[in-house]
Amino acid sequence: MLERVPLLEKSLADYADVAGEDTIERIRAAAAPLKGARILHVNATAYGGGVAELLATHVPLLRDLGIEAEWQVIHGSDEFFAITKHVHNALQGAAIEWTNEMQRIYLEKVLDNALLLEGTYDYVVIHDPQPAALLAMAGSTSINGPSTKWIWRCHIDLTDANQEVWEFFRPYVEQHDASVWTMPEFVPASLSMDRIVQAPPCIDPLSVKNLDLPEPFMREIVKQYGINPDRPLLCQVSRYDPWKDPLGVIEAYRIVKQEIPDVQLVLAGSMATDDPEGFQVWEEVDEARHGDHDIHLLSNIQQVGNVQINAFQRAAEVVIQKSLREGFGLTVSEGLWKGRPVIGGRAGGITLQIDHGENGYLVDSVEECAQYSIDLLRDPERATEMGESGKEHVRKNFLSTRELEDWVGLFTSLTG
């Protein structure tokens, strides 16, 4: 069988203080018809990146509703994940050579995984391109029963997708009973499906990454990584991926440093198991910082986990997510939830989270990113007001209880 991801237990009742008792009661009532249903989520990695974070909360909450939910991860190889990383980049607009050999390797590995599928399920949710062809390969196996509903969840921005690559994947996507997208703009016009759903992802306010941290504890953590909590700090948390534009963030930081010499920069993220490009980008970023000791380049390699990420975001005066392409960008909501103004690239789901001038700024250039950073560092009262506004925006729109309710509604509608 595929690798089953072990999960901690979570209780929906614990979210009442942040989401409201009425929300919890409404979700439980909506989920009542699904009690005992079997749901399987499948993706490419159990660690690193937003999808893994979402499922680590979503699946336990489904279980708390009396649903038999599981999360399994496909098996891959360096060659397979190198190809799917090219696919990821192509679907976000990059020009790549999409060869017959790449297609063959992709389909053969997906077939290998399809043969490992076991059990019977009422719903199977497939996340992103890596396992997109699983349904086609599952054929008449037990997992693909006559009443099983299959859903494809796309977490990336297909606004400017490479058409050759998209047309390869489109027939596999269209075999699903529904597809779920972060924004309607991401849905290619050529996609022909009866059920296309918009449902942005959300953050877990009770996860270790988002829980309140006592200030002395936060300060001690950042000191352990050579960061001075008494000096101004800019922070971007993301995968080491060219679409996150870490090199552009360094350029913006250097402009800020000319005006505010004490400023520091943290670039922190995780190396995901399905992203072989990460180490290459890390090396490029390391070279770009030119030994500047005020640029802190950090990852899980330096034992940076969710507690540390939480501390870095809380220590920062300004959180940055200067993506060039972005499916959603959970780190934007994370920063806003911590009461920090966020400067984000005008890309994808970032535009859903940042209300320009109210809780942060949307930027199209290095220069804009730098200038808004300077403005916020020089006006801490304004930065605090924006951060407070951002936290309420997340509370109303981007907490995991809202995402859970979206999924319960979709599952229920597919059986009606």
Q: What's the first-to-final CA gap in the chain, in angstroms?
A: 30
Tell me which H or E stretch contains 307. Answer: helix 306-315
Kindly give the confidence (pLDDT) of every residue in the chain, 416 residues in length, as a single tens digit, with 9 standing for 90 and above.
899 999 999 999 999 999 999 999 999 999 999 999 999 999 999 987 789 999 999 999 999 999 999 999 999 999 999 999 999 999 999 999 999 999 999 999 999 999 999 999 999 999 999 999 999 999 877 788 889 999 999 999 999 999 999 999 999 999 999 999 999 999 999 999 999 999 999 999 999 999 999 999 999 999 999 999 999 999 999 989 999 999 999 999 999 999 999 999 999 987 766 677 788 899 999 999 998 999 999 998 888 999 999 999 999 999 999 999 999 999 999 999 999 999 999 999 999 999 999 999 999 999 999 999 999 999 999 999 999 999 999 999 999 999 999 999 999 999 86
pLDDT at 187: 97
How far apart CA 398 and CA 396 sit, in angstroms, is 6
The domains of the chain are located at 3-202+400-415, 215-397
pLDDT at 145: 86
pLDDT at 197: 97
Global confidence as pTM: 0.93
Which residue type does 83 have?
Answer: I
pLDDT at 272: 67
CATH number for region 215-397: 3.40.50.2000
pLDDT at 275: 72
Output the six-digit token pair for 201. Answer: 């992802």
Q: What is the DSSP string of 75-98?
A: ---HHHHHHHHHHHHHHTT-----
Mention the CATH class of domain 3-202+400-415.
alpha beta
Q: Given this chain, do its domains 3-202+400-415 and 215-397 carry the same CATH topology?
A: yes
pLDDT at 416: 62
Cα dihedral across residues 264, 270, 271, 274: positive or negative: negative
Task: Return the SS3 of 360.
Answer: strand
